[in-house]
Structure 1
């Protein structure tokens, strides 16, 4: 007979992932042990193995959850009826709000993907590509004449914008939602202004 899942299985899994993000971010993936992860999560080492059979499996689930949730959140951002500049501001804001409280997972993403096998890395890269494609299309709509003449510039502009968003936590950790909304508007303004100069 199959073993049934506890009612709080999802909550415990989320708590383990949050604990893992803290430990991986502070100690690094290589130095982190399952015992340290269990201790940080406030459960026994045996119990953590009930959820994950290895540190690698935990790392993949952490990054998969983080990136898939971000990708899905951006896809669900209401953009209908907005002008291209408004769409850009809306997506910049959504990225930064999604990152709120996820600084540790973001740090782990930057350094952790190399520890995963190619087939798992490919899944995560596809999430990233989806987000880049969505933002890239909106950037292109803000300056179609620029990218019609120089389509290669679209990727550099898109990745530059992501760079401004992705590294915000490095110099403004713990920023609240209002600070994130203000910075998102600044990033959008810098990007839109820069497009005029291209």
Structure 2
């Protein structure tokens, strides 16, 4: 007979993911242990293994959860009714807003997928491609030539994500620049170049 799922299963699962992402981000994927994750979450190893039978499954679910939430944030921020540059600004703002509380998850996705199976990596890559396409489509609207060039729009889009993906390292919420202000800066910098920031 199948075991009945507890009413608070999803809440406990999310709590474990939050704790695990914090441990992975602090100690690194190779050095973090399931025992340390259980201790951080104040649960037994047996309960942790009930939810996640292996560290690899835990890493995968952190990455998958982060991408699901990032894609949802981008879809929520998207404004197809606006002109393409303004729409891009909203998409950038959606990413940065998601990163506000997802720093640990983001670090795991960037640095912790090497031990995953090929099928798991492919699943995450497919999710990432959908996110990249949301930006690529708008960039082609802004500059249709990007869709015609041999190199395509992908290098341009990935350059934008290169700017956004590392903000967790240096961005300080208490600093002089707000997230909205940084979203404005990135949009202006990316569309018009560094000299436009003096205007």
TM-score (norm 1): 0.90
- Bigger helix share: 1
Correspondence for 1:143? 143
Q: Following TM superposition, by how much is the alpha carbon of 1:153 offset from its aligned partner in structure 2, in angstroms?
A: 5.4
Question: Matches of 2:191 and 2:27 in 1, distance apart?
Answer: 39
Q: Following TM superposition, by how much is the alpha carbon of 1:76 offset from its aligned partner in structure 2, in angstroms?
A: 3.8
Correspondence for 1:191? 190
Q: Following TM superposition, by how much is the alpha carbon of 1:28 offset from its aligned partner in structure 2, in angstroms?
A: 1.3
Question: Matches of 1:119 and 1:166 in 2, distance apart?
Answer: 24
SS at match of 1:114: coil
Correspondence for 2:162? 163
SS at match of 1:115: coil
User: 1:89-137: per-residue Cα shift (whole Å, max 9, x none)?
Assistant: 0000000001111111111111111110111000001111111111011
Matches within 5 A, 1:87-102: 87-102=87-102
Question: Matches of 1:142 and 1:17 in 2, distance apart?
Answer: 38
* Unaligned residue ranges in structure 1 (runs of 5+): none
Of structures 1 and 2, the one with the larger relative CO (CA 8 A, separation 6+) is 1
Q: Following TM superposition, by how much is the alpha carbon of 1:4 offset from its aligned partner in structure 2, in angstroms?
A: 1.6
Question: Aligned Cα RMSD in Å?
Answer: 2.0
The structure-2 alpha-carbon separation of the partners of 1:58 and 1:175, relative to structure 1 and needing over 3 Å to count, comes to: farther
Q: Following TM superposition, by how much is the alpha carbon of 1:154 offset from its aligned partner in structure 2, in angstroms?
A: 2.1
SS at match of 2:4: coil
* Unaligned residue ranges in structure 2 (runs of 5+): none
Question: Matches of 1:80 and 1:115 in 2, distance apart?
Answer: 38
Correspondence for 2:121? 121
TM-score (norm 2): 0.89
